[in-house]
Amino acid sequence: MKLAFLTDPLDSFKTYKDSTFAMMREAASRGHRLFAFGPEDMALENGQVVARSREIRLTGDSEQWYQADAPQDTPLQQFDAVLQRKDPPFDMEYVYATYLLELAEQQGARVFNRPAAIRSHNEKLSIAQFSQFTAPTLVTRDAARIRAFHATHGDIILKPLDGMGGSGIFRVREDGLNLGSVIEGLTQLGSRTIMVQRYIPEIVHGDKRILLIGGKVVPFALARIPQQGEVRGNLAAGGTGVAQPLSERDLEIAQTLAPQLAQRGLLLVGLDVIGSYLTEVNVTSPTCFQEITAQTGFDVAAMFLDALEAAVAA
């Protein structure tokens, strides 16, 4: 197949841990051709969505890991699959990219995850669709509501709806120290909506990333354990990743969500679970392939390529 990856600049990849690289390596081992482009390379021209993409070949070298041909404008429907692997921020440029990808779908392109499904699943707010699995949660920009929530629950987490990698997350304890400043900063004086949740003490045992692929559940999670003095387990925030089998509660959450999300056009989803609570539904560019594979031997990238090949053939 001809597989096109919409992704961040290739030179920014950390190949020892990058999940997109793991996908590419597995695809190349199966004989598929690889192409790459960024959001800035897409255009709607003469009624057709095209991308200035480069065919790439993997070298096996950890530093100079790819060779690339000269870029060529290619209609997206000429690829067998387009994989949306651009990291957030989920800003308006990201939204415009999903609009172009959706137009490309109408012209015959196969896009994974489906652009409309990505737009419809804010990675924080989507947990509200599965409230039976969530801790007490408030979404608002109203300071009085946030203060009332804090008065009820005491120990709370506040975070923006569009962050990634643990950015912008604050914990305010029972004493309410700096609550006003945190509210003002995160809501930008009441102009931006945020999420507030009751603090989940089990974070000390890790923020578990559970992967769903093609409606099925990867049997291992990566528990991202916060470093000393931190409330964020994200690897980007210094957390340590420890792979572990799924608990019964993990399986209950994952097996409930997996078929529903797959039916909505989400081939790959990364659930975040702390203790027994669902905290995020990641659909833009879920990661942790390589960490799980390295620690357990379970080949996540192979499972993903199996699902992708089946989806394209369907």
Q: Where in the sequence numbering do the catalytic residues fall?
A: 124, 159, 209, 224, 232, 272, 280, 282
**Do 258 and 229 meet the contact criterion of CB atoms below 8 Å apart?**
no
What is the DSSP annotation of 241-270? Answer: EEEEEPPHHHHHHHHHHHHHHHHTT-SEEE
Question: Helix, strand, coil shares of the chain as percentages rounded to 5?
Answer: 35, 30, 35
Length of the chain as a residue count: 314
Q: Which two tokens stand for residue 257?
A: 């969500």
* Count of C-beta atoms within a 10 Å radius of residue 75: 15
* Count of C-beta atoms within a 10 Å radius of residue 3: 23
What is the DSSP annotation of 114-157? Answer: -HHHHHH--TTGGGGGGGGG--SEEEES-HHHHHHHHHHHSSEE
**Do 196 and 140 meet the contact criterion of CB atoms below 8 Å apart?**
yes
DSSP collapsed to 3 states, 22-34: HHHHHHHHCCCEE
The Cα 255–Cα 219 span in angstroms is 11
